Structures are given as C-alpha cells and as structure tokens.
C-alpha cells in the first residue's frame, strides 16, 4: 500500500514538474488566408480556447518584395503556415496579452516554475531568425536566434534563462505580454509552418 | 609560327566550349501568374533568345492541402518561382514542342546541360527528358545523387552530364533516341515536400 502511495506521489510530482502551459496550438482562432505584399499589414485578432488568455494578434511587416510574390499566411488545421516567396523579406509578429483591438491586456503569467519555451515547427525551408520579447509592464527581456531548415517536425527550445532582461524590474513571475517574430531575410524567401508553442 | 599555333589552339578551345543557349529568359516575358488549384496549366511565350523561339511552361499542382500559391513570372532575364508551403507540384519548361518545328539538335559535341540559378530555397529535384523522332526518349533524374538538388542561397549552376542520359525503353525495345537529333526537351522542377520550393533561374544552355 505504502509503495503504491509513494509511486502515485512520484508520478504526481513528475506531472507537476513537466506541466505545460500552452501558448497556442493553432487549433482555434483560424485565419483562412491573408496576403501581405507591402509595409506593415493590418493587425488582426483571433479568439480561441487553445490560445493563452483566449486571444492573439497577428500581423506582418514586409520590408522587400521585388518580385511581387509577397507572403501568404493562414491558421487552420492546427498550423500557422507562412509562405514568404522568393526574395520577399519581412517579419511575422504573433502577439499574446492583447485585447480584441490588439491593445495590450496584461496576462499576469507566472512562469517562474517553467524552464523552457518550445516552438514546434512542422517544417521549414530555410534558416531564418526567431525573436521573442516578453514584457513585465513595459520592461522586457529579449531572445534571438536562427532557426534551422528542416523537412519534417522539430522543436526549437528556448531556455528561459537565456532571455536577456533589459531592466531589473523584468520578472518571469509576472509576464504580461509576449511577442514572437518569425523572419524571412534571405533571397530564397522562407516557407514554414508552426503547430504549437508552449512553456514546459 | 608560335602565335599561329596559339591562335589555332584558342579557336579549337572556343569551338570545344561553345554554347547553345536554350533560354536566357531575356525574351518571352511572362507577367505574374498565380495558381493554387489542383490542375495542370499551360502557358506559352515566344522570344528570339529562346531556342526555336517558343517556350511552353506547364504549372502542375498535385496536392495543396494548405491552399498556398505557386507564383511565377519571367522578366529581365530571370524566371522567378515561388511554390508555397506543402505544395506538391512542378514547373515544367518545354522547348521544341511545336511538332511542326522540331529542334533537330546535334548535341554530340556538347558535354552538359547547364541550369544557372540565382538561388534556390531547399531540396527540390530536377528531371529532364529529351526526345528524338517522336517518342524516343532519354531522361536524367540525378542518378541517385541527392546533393545535386539541395538549396543554395547564392548563385550556382546545375550541370547535367549528357552521358548520364538514360534511354527509356519502350515495349518493343526499339528506342531510337540519339543525342545527334534531339527534337524536343523538357525540364521539370519539382516540389515534393512540405517546404515548397522557391527559386530563380537565369540561363539554360548546352556546353
């Protein structure tokens, strides 16, 4: 009996330790299709119960589009899909901690018990950047890296200890707003799809 | 005398390395085309720098679960192609497909078919087929060398050795393909994986 209780306690502790906080599984808050060709696109918001705090905003800034191939974006079937055409250079911004108008609405997330932010890609055509900003109020921490190209699923792991705070008042105990940036900055453009973002 | 020999050797070298340009994309422009439905679409352009003055482009989409686009255009000496995420399809260039005007190319003195890229996003196979006198076909599919088809951020030339062309035998084993009489040529650029395929080509030539 005691052995069973100990096993259950161990499993319970393991479960808590490995608990996930899903930021977005892209199964809700669908976008049928958006095409971005120039400048900063209009910010749109989507609601869904698979999104942290129930709402996200999204937009893209196109810096260069010499062949008028632009970028196509959709969110459906559990995938955020982006096709940046040949020599289209720009950034997609995905934001959490917003209201229906895209304005800041603090999430007050306590992330101090989580170790890693994970972004699962379904596939990715070329090496390009990912940038993440997390805010406590208007104080933020930043992370940036290149994400490899790969045919097939892979997870980009971002240790939360690698976030670089820009002010002493930034704290993982109170995250109000998170911004993800997915870049296309190479001649080849970049095609990619993301199926989940979560803390673990 | 030495100068004469030098001149002759340079001349011979020039002949040996002469080129036949199949298409340098400086003529026969094509405005932006957008395709997303599962279908095969044919586009035709004419131009003085296209061998036999006519190019046919087939845009083939076999699968497009995420409803992305294939965008294609030809302008200013470049063919620019963007095949979006998770499209299974192909861009096929055809030369000499006007059966009333076969190319009648004697390629026996040439070593390779060259495709000059400005850049290419990721892995994507290239197949070519050449035909003599009707259906007699020889083809090239890379000979199992996958590295030939990887993407590159910088310009590069894909060289297809003509000695690697394989005759496609028909049922009667009577394939009469000959490199001395190539009447029409097709080159296929395939997107077969989730990443789609973006690329730009500037020149196709025999050397």
Domains of chain B: 19-206 (2.60.120.260)
Average pLDDT, chain A: 93
CB neighbours of residue B172 within 10 Å:
6
Q: Which helix (H) or strand (E) holds B11?
A: helix B2-16
The pLDDT score that the predictor gives to residue B174 is 76
Residue partners of B172: CB distance under 8 A and separation at least 6: none
For residue A81, give the nearest of A135, A130, A32 by alpha carbon.
A32
pLDDT band of B25, cuts 50, 70, 90: very high
Q: Taking CA atoms, what residue in B is nearest to A190?
A: B121
Q: Check if A100 contacts B (Cβ < 8 Å).
A: no
A20-199 folds as: Jelly Rolls (2.60.120)
The pLDDT score that the predictor gives to residue B143 is 86
CB neighbours of residue A168 within 10 Å:
7
pLDDT band of B11, cuts 50, 70, 90: very low
Contacts of B196 in chain A (CB under 8 A): 83, 125, 191
Q: Kindly state the percentage of chain B with pLDDT values over 70.
A: 90
Chain B contact residues (CB < 8 Å to A)? 32, 65-69, 71, 73, 80-82, 84-86, 118-123, 151, 153, 193-200
pLDDT 10s digits, A62-87: 999 999 999 999 999 999 999 999 99
CB neighbours of residue B39 within 10 Å:
11
User: Which residue stretches of chain A are H helix?
Assistant: 2-17
How many angstroms separate the CA atoms of B107 and B160, rounded?
A: 13
Residue partners of B163: CB distance under 8 A and separation at least 6: B111
Contacts of A195 in chain B (CB under 8 A): none
Across the interface, whether the CB atoms of B118 and A192 are under 8 A apart is answered no
């096993």: which residue's tokens? A7
Phi/psi at A132 (5° precision): -130, 135
Write down the domain spans for chain A: 20-199
Partners of A139 in beta bridges = A136
Across the interface, whether the CB atoms of A83 and B153 are under 8 A apart is answered no
The pLDDT score that the predictor gives to residue B6 is 46
Partners of A141 in beta bridges = A134, A165
CB neighbours of residue A146 within 10 Å:
12
Three-state SS sequence of B160-175: EEHHHCEEECCCCCCC
How many angstroms separate the CA atoms of A182 and A94, rounded?
A: 8
Query: Does pLDDT of A15 surpass 90?
Result: no
Q: Kindly state the percentage of chain A with pLDDT values over 90.
A: 87
**Parallel, antiparallel or unpaired: strands A79-84 and A190-199:** antiparallel
| Count of A-B CB contacts under 8 Å | 106
Across the interface, whether the CB atoms of B85 and A68 are under 8 A apart is answered no
**Contact yes or no for A97/A177 (Cβ under 8 A):** yes
Contacts of B121 in chain A (CB under 8 A): 86, 125-126, 188-191
Half-sphere CA count of A46, side-chain side, radius 13 A: 22
Query: Does pLDDT of A109 surpass 90?
Result: yes
How many angstroms separate the CA atoms of A61 and A38, rounded?
A: 7
The pLDDT score that the predictor gives to residue B176 is 87
Q: Kindly state the percentage of chain A with pLDDT values over 70.
A: 91
Whole-number CA gyration radius for chain B: 18
Q: Which of B65, B66, B146 to mutate to test binding with chain A, by most A CBs within 10 Å of its CB?
A: B66
**Contact yes or no for B205/B160 (Cβ under 8 A):** no
In angstroms, the Cα distances linking B156 to B148, B153, B188, B205 are 11, 9, 18, 14
Q: Is the ipTM of this complex over 0.85?
A: yes
The secondary structure of chain B in percent helix, strand, coil, rounded to multiples of 5, reads 10, 50, 40
Here the tokens at position B19 are: 């080129």
Q: Taking CA atoms, what residue in B is nearest to A126?
A: B121
How many angstroms separate the CA atoms of A4 and B55, rounded?
A: 75
How many angstroms separate the CA atoms of B109 and B189, rounded?
A: 26
**Contact yes or no for A146/A129 (Cβ under 8 A):** yes
Each residue of A24-34: b (16+ CB within 10 Å) or e?
Answer: bbbbbbeeeeb
Query: Does pLDDT of B5 surpass 80?
Result: no
The SS3 assignment for B13 reads helix
Query: Does pLDDT of B62 surpass 90?
Result: yes
């Amino acid at each position: 009996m005691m052995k069973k209780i100990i096993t259950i306690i161990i499993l319970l502790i393991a479960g808590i330790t490995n608990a996930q906080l899903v930021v977005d599984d892209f199964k809700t808050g669908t976008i049928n299709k958006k095409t971005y060709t120039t400048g900063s696109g209009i910010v749109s918001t989507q609601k869904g119960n698979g999104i942290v705090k129930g709402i996200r905003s999204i937009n893209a800034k196109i810096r260069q589009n010499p062949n008028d191939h632009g970028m196509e974006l959709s969110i459906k079937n559990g995938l955020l899909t982006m096709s940046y055409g040949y020599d289209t250079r720009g950034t997609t911004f995905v934001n959490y901690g917003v209201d229906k108008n895209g304005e800041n609405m603090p999430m007050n997330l306590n992330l101090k018990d989580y170790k890693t932010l994970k972004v699962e890609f379904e596939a990715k055509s070329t090496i390009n950047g990912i940038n993440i900003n997390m805010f406590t109020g208007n104080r933020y921490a930043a992370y940036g890296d290149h994400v490899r190209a790969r045919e097939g699923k892979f997870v980009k792991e971002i240790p939360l200890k690698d976030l670089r705070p820009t002010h002493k008042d930034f704290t993982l105990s109170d995250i109000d707003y998170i911004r993800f940036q997915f870049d296309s900055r190479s001649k080849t453009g970049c095609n990619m799809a993301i199926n989940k973002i979560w803390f673990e | 005398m030495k100068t004469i020999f030098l001149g002759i050797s340079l001349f011979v070298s020039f002949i040996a390395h002469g080129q036949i340009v199949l298409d340098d994309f400086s003529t026969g422009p094509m405005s932006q085309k957008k395709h997303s439905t599962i279908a095969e679409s044919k586009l035709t352009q004419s131009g003085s720098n296209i061998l036999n003055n006519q190019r046919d482009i087939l845009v083939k989409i076999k699968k497009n679960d995420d409803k992305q686009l294939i965008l294609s255009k030809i302008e200013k000496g470049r063919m620019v192609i963007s095949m979006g995420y998770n499209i299974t399809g192909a861009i096929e260039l055809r030369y000499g497909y006007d059966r009333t005007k076969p190319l009648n190319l004697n390629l026996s003195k040439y070593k390779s078919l060259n495709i000059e890229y400005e850049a290419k996003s990721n892995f994507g196979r290239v197949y070519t087929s050449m035909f003599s006198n009707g259906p007699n076909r020889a083809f090239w599919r890379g000979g199992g060398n996958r590295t030939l088809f990887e993407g590159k951020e910088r310009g590069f030339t894909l060289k297809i050795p003509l000695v690697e062309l394989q005759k496609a035998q028909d049922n009667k084993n009577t394939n009469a393909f000959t490199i001395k009489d190539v009447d029409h040529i097709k080159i296929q650029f395939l997107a077969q994986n989730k990443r789609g395929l973006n690329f730009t080509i500037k020149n196709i030539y025999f050397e």
